[in-house]
Amino acid sequence: MAAGSASIYMSAESRGRLLNFLMMVQMAGSFRMGVVAPILALLIRRHGVSIIEIGILGVVGMLGWLIFEPLSGVISDRVNRRVMIAFAIISTSIIYLLYPFATEFSHFLALAFTLSSFSSASSVPTRALLTELLPSSGRGHIYGRYMAMVSGSSVIAPFIGGYASETIGYALPFYAAAGVGLLSLVAVILMGPLPEAERKEQKVRTKITDVLNGNLVNLYLIRGLYFFNIPFRGGFLPILLNESTSLHATETEIGTYMTLVTLTTAASQAFLGDLIDRIGSRKIIVTTCSLLAVSYLGILTASWIPFLFAIGAIQGVLQAGADTSMMMHLMGLQIRGKTGMVIGLYAEAENIGGIVANPTFGYTYTSFGPLSSLLLVSSVLLLTAGLSVTRLRTPPTSS
């Protein structure tokens, strides 16, 4: 099946309208994650939760994705995706409102599982709809600019979250995340009914064997390994930076570091999309994963906060390159009528990587010290780059 065959056939005006409203939904989601990112692990830590228990929280959270994202992928090929997205927004907003009231490990355990479970109702349908809306010609150009807007919406969010938690309290960022989510329901409503072409396509019968061909399986493997660094960045790195004897970064400084990551991610994605169109996704995957590994090793030597900020700025570009190129590679391997299932399995690979990563980092951090976790994440990223060289093949061109 030719690349791009999963695209929706509609007028450019209708396609652009849907893309704009979908972008607003993703911009809100990006802000929500960004505003709580610098302080979630610190909030949990302040209630006496150990590093090992934080690893367990990460596993439980990933289990929610693992269980429900494949189901969400299959359902999204058959039912109204707007309803799924709206349900996810409302339910996760309630979870964000509950976080400031949690005081015990069991509370955080329940919240982590329910947040990821409800979020899965939106993550797969959103990516599946985006994949189908993007035309096969010049896809990198459009996708890069689209994601630049999505990432740009949360550029200031980590700083806001870090500064607000330090000066006002830890509750405000969670209330902001809930409020912004509920506002994004307006965009979901304005999207209107799904195109007739898509609804017909959703009725195609899906089989698991159709989406387990060699090219897709290799990409699932590489994405799972790459995702090993995501729980580390979100759950363990803020604690490492805060408790480091050489840095002892404050909440505001951690928020600034994450803001710089987000800023350079947004600033570079348009360029990266064009670059992928010219040289292909595989070369970008290999290069960015290799350099991202080196950047984590750079944190080993960091003893000056401005140097940490410089690393964050570089990491934003590399993270954008890896995420954008992997998603572009996946889009080139899509199968008509099975977009939701393919995206669901791609997300499942991320979940498995996260489930393995959380207890692994919890154990290495506690048993061998925080620096060992930096060495581990760098090693896994280098392995990801190596497998990308040997296992990934250039997607077929559009017909």
Closest listed residue to residue 131, CA positions, set 26, 320, 5, 278: 5
pLDDT at position 114: 95
The vertex-263 CA angle with 260 and 268, nearest 5°, equals: 125
As a whole number of angstroms, the distance between CA 236 and CA 254 comes to: 12
pLDDT at position 3: 40
Q: Which domains does the chain have, with CATH numbers?
A: 12-391 (1.20.1250.20)
Other Cβ atoms within 10 Å of 196 Cβ, number: 11
Q: Extract the tokens encoding 55.
A: 């690893």
Task: Summarize pLDDT for 330-371 with one digit per residue, the tens.
Answer: 888 876 667 777 887 888 898 888 888 888 888 888 888 888
As a whole number of angstroms, the distance between CA 189 and CA 393 comes to: 40
Place of tokens 């405000």: 172
Please state the pTM of the whole predicted model: 0.76
Largest pairwise CA distance in the chain: 59
> Length of the chain, please?
399
Place of tokens 């060495």: 375
The answer to whether the CB of 241 falls within 8 A of the CB of 254 is yes
pLDDT at position 148: 87
CB-side neighbour CA atoms (13 Å) of 144? 21
pLDDT at position 182: 94
As a whole number of angstroms, the distance between CA 364 and CA 383 comes to: 18
For 220-239, give the DSSP string.
Answer: HHHHHHHTTHHHIIIIIHHH
Residue-level pLDDT, tens digit, the chain, 399 residues: 334 444 455 667 777 888 899 999 999 999 998 899 888 888 898 899 888 888 889 889 888 888 888 788 777 777 778 889 999 999 999 999 999 999 999 999 999 999 999 998 888 888 888 888 887 777 788 888 888 888 888 788 888 888 888 889 889 999 999 999 999 999 999 887 765 444 444 455 555 566 677 788 999 999 999 998 888 887 788 888 888 878 888 888 988 888 899 899 989 988 999 999 899 899 999 999 999 999 999 988 888 889 999 999 999 999 999 999 999 898 888 766 677 778 878 888 988 888 888 888 888 888 888 888 899 999 999 999 999 999 988 765 543
pLDDT at position 201: 45
